[in-house]
Chain A
Amino acid sequence: MRDASPAKVYALHIGVILALFALNFVLPDYHQGLFARIMALAVFAMGYNLLFGYGGLLSLGHAMFFSAGLYGAGLTVYHLGWGVPEAFLAGIACGALLALVIGLLALRTSGVAFMIVTMMFAQVFYLLILYFAAWTGGDQGLVIQQASRVVSIGGASFDLTDPTVRYMSALALFSVVLLITLAIVRSRFGRVLVAIRENEERTRMLGYDTTANKLIAVVASGATCAASGAAYALLFGYVGSNFASVQYSILPLLWVLLGGAATVLGPLVGTLFMYYVTDITSGFTSAYLLIVGIALILLVLFAPKGILGTIRQRWLGWLP
């Protein structure tokens, strides 16, 4: 954050949002659907980035926050017949609450122990979903019918299964989270978070309760990831235990590393890039995870700052 004029920074991010808005009218059907998915999942990556990129806490268990939102929204619609807005909020609340509990426990550790503890809690969450298959649908998952995915606001009703409504809903969520992230990063809290990442002991000796600040970051991150999960359940109509597996804890890490940790737009860039790489290569190989594996190793070896991180270092020092 070298002295950047706020106008330039906001112009860039609002420009990205407007470009995504315009793409809705240009993209072919298939890519319109893919972009909706990417924007919803980029929110997951942004939530992860808040904790990992800015706070310096590497979690290997964020699938549990995503799926807390996924099931929090999906199950309230499926079993309780809740409406879309209530279910969405329920999903976020589940994620925030889970993040609070996990944060209180896991933040007693740090470094490698933090990674392993978060991975284990996520594993417990995953196994619980399998164990309570009677309600969750287990690894088969549950399909949420089109009829329960219609939002009525005032007199108008929006069908989330309609491609344009789905695209615009994903864009709306993405934009809100993007601007909130930008505000957090530029706020005093953002500065403290970065300070904790750089040197926690020093930050404490400046009078900050670093544990409390980290807990806030965990909860904010968990709630954001849950928002992504809840949106995913409602927009795409499916919940399944696969989303709680270890793989979905690794993916946001990969997206963030690829796009650039501790950059506001990095999560979008990383998610977009990874999705299209997979999409293009799926013509040649079904070994999607092979690409994930190779990408992870190449990134840590040769580009630990990711795409936007490298651009910021070389050319655009003002990029938040």
Chain B
Amino acid sequence: MHFGPHLLLAALEGLVTSAVLALTALGLSLVFGVMRVVNVAHGEFFMLGAVLAWAISTAIAGHPAVGFVAALVIAPLLVGLVALIAERLVLRRLNYNPEGTIVATIGMLYIIQQLALTFYGPEARPVEPPFSYRILLPWFGYSGYKLSVVAASVILLVLTWLVLTRTKIGLIMRATQYDSETAQAFGIPVERVYAGVFAVGAMLAAIAAVLIVPISQAHYLMGQDPLLLSFIVVIIGGLGSLRGTVVAAILIGLSDGIISVFFSPTLAKIIATLVVAMVLVFRPQGLFGTTAR
């Protein structure tokens, strides 16, 4: 292939990465924005979504699309339930103390990962895509499913945006994010908002994972890269800003796709991580939101 088509392919792959990343990072950003909790186990919710998607789709016979749709509905709900239980049993008891919750979510990370290893095993397993239509471009054919992942992600992002800006739920969430004590004084059930946000954050990661699993297989260690990349996106994009998260996800997804086509993926990761660390060091205020309490 010539350089041009090669770049186009890299860009398309990057766009798919961006789409999934935007959803995952949005979950992390919501949780940190509203609850001030850095959820280190976020990547494991992603992994759990993928593993459950495999389990559900293999349990249901018939056309692959049936199993996939079932997975897309059931897996996020189950992950949300796990998150609710974790919030109730652990985070709430810690009063959402930032440092305590980091240590606790590290613990959750190990627990979920090891349970997945025990019950699911160390193999990487594929999920069949719901359809296998290929779009023929002049230079190469491209998976129609991959493009539909991008479309699905866009729809979900727009939906989230509408909920956050146009509904009462969104208003309550923003009020809690701005000042949880005042919100509580005005009769907002802050604890229930926190529980809901934590569950929704985990569900967004799970949905992203179900979407990606027909492309990249389910594996018990697959949560690590999305976690790191989501951190990067949240830091670069700025906190609580949906637009920032999406822009950063596109930026990171595209550059990750393009850089890893032309450079060693390890070197790409080294550079990306170092750049983000430096951003945090020298411009923390612009990246962790302006209303530091």
Contact = CB atoms under 8 A, between A and B. Distances in A.
A290 B118 CA distance: 10
A300 B94 contact: yes
Interface class of chain B by DSSP: helix
A257 B109 contact: no
B70 to A, nearest CB: 29
B113 interface: yes
Nearest to B102: A115
B106 A296 contact: yes
A268 interface: no
Interface in A290-308: 290, 292-297, 299-301, 304
B231 interface: yes
A117 interface: yes
Given A58-B99, A123-B228, A127-B273, A297 B107 contact: yes
Contact of A293 (B93, B109, B278): B109
Interface of B: 38, 90, 93-94, 98-100, 102-104, 106-111, 113-115, 117-118, 228, 231, 235, 264, 266-267, 269-270, 273-274, 276-278, 280-282, 284, 288
Given A113-B284, A117-B277, A124-B277, A293 B111 contact: yes
A135 to B, nearest CB: 14
Nearest to B267: A131
Contacts of A295: 107
B111 A112 contact: no
A289 interface: yes
19 contacts: A105-B277, A108-B281, A108-B284, A109-B280, A112-B102, A112-B288, A116-B231, A120-B231, A120-B277, A120-B280, A123-B228, A128-B270, A287-B118, A292-B110, A293-B106, A295-B107, A297-B111, A300-B107, A301-B90
Interface string A188-202: 000000000000000
A263 B117 CA distance: 36
Interface residues of A, number: 36
Given A58-B99, A105-B281, A130-B266, 15 more contacts: A105-B277, A109-B280, A111-B98, A116-B38, A121-B277, A127-B273, A253-B103, A287-B117, A289-B113, A292-B110, A293-B111, A295-B107, A296-B107, A299-B103, A300-B104
A250 interface: yes
A227 interface: no
A119 to B, nearest CB: 9
Contacts of B266: 127, 130-131
- With most chain A CB atoms within 10 A of its CB, the pick from B93, B107, B274 is B107
A8 to B, nearest CB: 33
Given A58-B99, A108-B281, A300-B103, A127 B269 contact: yes
